[in-house]
């Protein structure tokens, strides 16, 4: 086994995270650059150090998880959800069950809550928001954002749901209450079920083809009949019928029975 393979095995034993389910070239490049920056000549000595120093481990996990996000990321796609798909889902039932998977800093679940708030009472809304990274979930729960993260938020929603506390924007408690944040590893934890909408964007690109296929199968099982999966703008599913999905719009898939 190579130095890197032994390292991935050790990381799996220590954290439960299987780095082999992420595309190797990218992951190895990212982790090697961090290792070099920290002054370790190989992964063996790097592991010995991070096994003893929680800060080093936490930095490694940060590096592997890439937390970039923003509200209404790729806003044209979100408009499809807002104007076409959500109203259709709401015709059938008002208390939709929604999961924002790999939610990072929370921009995505908060976007969904603001959108739904235009159609239904916010008290009726429960969105499960999950990520593998506990630190990022803590930040998400605080709901504090830079101007940049909000650049696509329509101005009336920005005025309604954010308070400006120089130099940041803080999200309203009513929106926060609609979200339940929880740690969840898409590659190893059991999947919750009975969802009408699953939003999972800009994480599947990091996974191997086999890992992706397994995630699609599990999402399909987690969706109710006619439930919708919304993926990122580079994450089109090839042969969606393999997972009981039909395409209902670009980057939106509907569960068919
Ligand atoms: C680039 S962000 C995407 C955030 C958001 N979905 C968006 O599109 O703006 C990727 C997120 O995936 C999370 N992640 C990486 N591997 C994961 C896994 N195995 N299970 C759950 N989340 C994971 C990272 O922690 C990170 O927050």
Ligand 1 within 6 A of CB of 69:
yes
Q: Is 249 helix (H, G, I), strand (E, B) or coil?
A: strand
Joined together, the tokens standing for residue 240 give 């969606």
What is d(CA 99, CA 97) in angstroms, rounded to the nearest whole number? 7
Going from the Cα of 92 to the center of ligand 1, the distance in angstroms, rounded, reads 30
Task: State yes or no: pLDDT of 124 exceeds 90.
Answer: no
Distance 154 CA to ligand 1 centre (A): 24
Nearest CA to ligand 1 atom 27: 104
Q: How far from 133 is each of 22, 149, 247, CA to CA, in Å?
A: 15, 19, 30
In the chain, the domains with their CATH numbers are 3-64 (no CATH), 75-255 (3.40.50.150)
H or E stretch including 169?
strand 168-171
Structure confidence at residue 64 as a pLDDT band (50, 70, 90): confident
CA of 145 to the centre of ligand 1 (A): 18
**136 pLDDT tier (thresholds 50, 70, 90):** very high
Residues 6+ apart with CB under 8 A from 158: 150, 169
DSSP codes joined into one string, 67-123: ----TTSSHHHHHHIIIIIHHHHHHH-SS-EEEEES-TTTHHHHHHHHHHTTTS-GG
Torsion of CA 211, 49, 140, 208, to 10 degrees: -10
| C-alpha of residue 69 to centroid of ligand 1, in Å | 9
pLDDT of residue 56: 93
Query: Which residue lies with its CA nearest to atom 13 of ligand 1?
Result: 102
How crowded is residue 95: how many other Cβ atoms within 10 Å of its Cβ?
Answer: 13
Does the beta carbon of 231 lie inside 6 Å of ligand 1? no
The answer, yes or no, to whether residue 85 has pLDDT greater than 90, is: yes
Question: Residue 136 contacts by C-beta under 8 Å, 6 or more apart in sequence?
Answer: 65, 67, 104, 105
220-240: per-residue pLDDT in tens?
Answer: 999 999 999 999 998 999 999
Residue 67 has pLDDT above 90, yes or no: no
Which residue's C-alpha comes closest to atom 11 of ligand 1? 102
Averaged pLDDT for residues 21-27:
94
Whether residue 196 has its Cβ less than 6 Å from ligand 1: no
Q: Which atom of ligand 1 is least distant from the CA of 69? A: 9
Q: Would you state the pLDDT for residue 65? A: 83
């Amino acid at each position: 086994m190579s130095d890197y393979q032994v390292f991935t095995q050790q990381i799996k034993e220590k954290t439960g995270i299987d780095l082999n389910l992420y595309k190797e070239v990218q992951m190895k490049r990212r982790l090697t650059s961090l290792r070099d920056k920290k002054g370790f000549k190989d992964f063996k000595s790097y592991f010995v150090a991070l096994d003893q120093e929680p800060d080093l481990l936490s930095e490694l996990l940060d590096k592997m998880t890439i937390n970039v996000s923003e509200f209404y990321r790729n806003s044209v796609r979100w408009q499809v959800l807002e104007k076409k798909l959500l109203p259709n889902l709401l015709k059938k039932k008002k208390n939709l069950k929604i999961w924002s998977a790999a939610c990072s800093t929370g921009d995505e679940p908060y976007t969904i809550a603001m959108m739904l708030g235009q159609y239904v009472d916010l008290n009726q809304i429960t969105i499960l928001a999950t990520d593998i990274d506990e630190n990022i979930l803590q930040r998400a729960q605080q709901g504090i954002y830079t101007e940049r993260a909000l650049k696509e938020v329509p101005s009336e929603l920005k005025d309604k749901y954010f308070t400006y506390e120089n130099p940041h924007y803080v999200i309203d408690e009513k929106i926060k209450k609609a979200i339940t944040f929880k740690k969840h590893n898409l590659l190893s934890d059991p999947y919750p079920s009975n969802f009408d909408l699953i939003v999972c964007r800009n994480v599947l690109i990091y996974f191997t083809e086999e890992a992706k296929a397994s995630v699609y199968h599990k999402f399909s099982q987690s969706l109710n009949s006619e439930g919708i999966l919304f993926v990122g703008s580079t994450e089109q599913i090839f042969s969606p019928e393999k997972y009981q999905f039909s395409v209902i719009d670009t980057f939106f898939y509907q569960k068919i029975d």
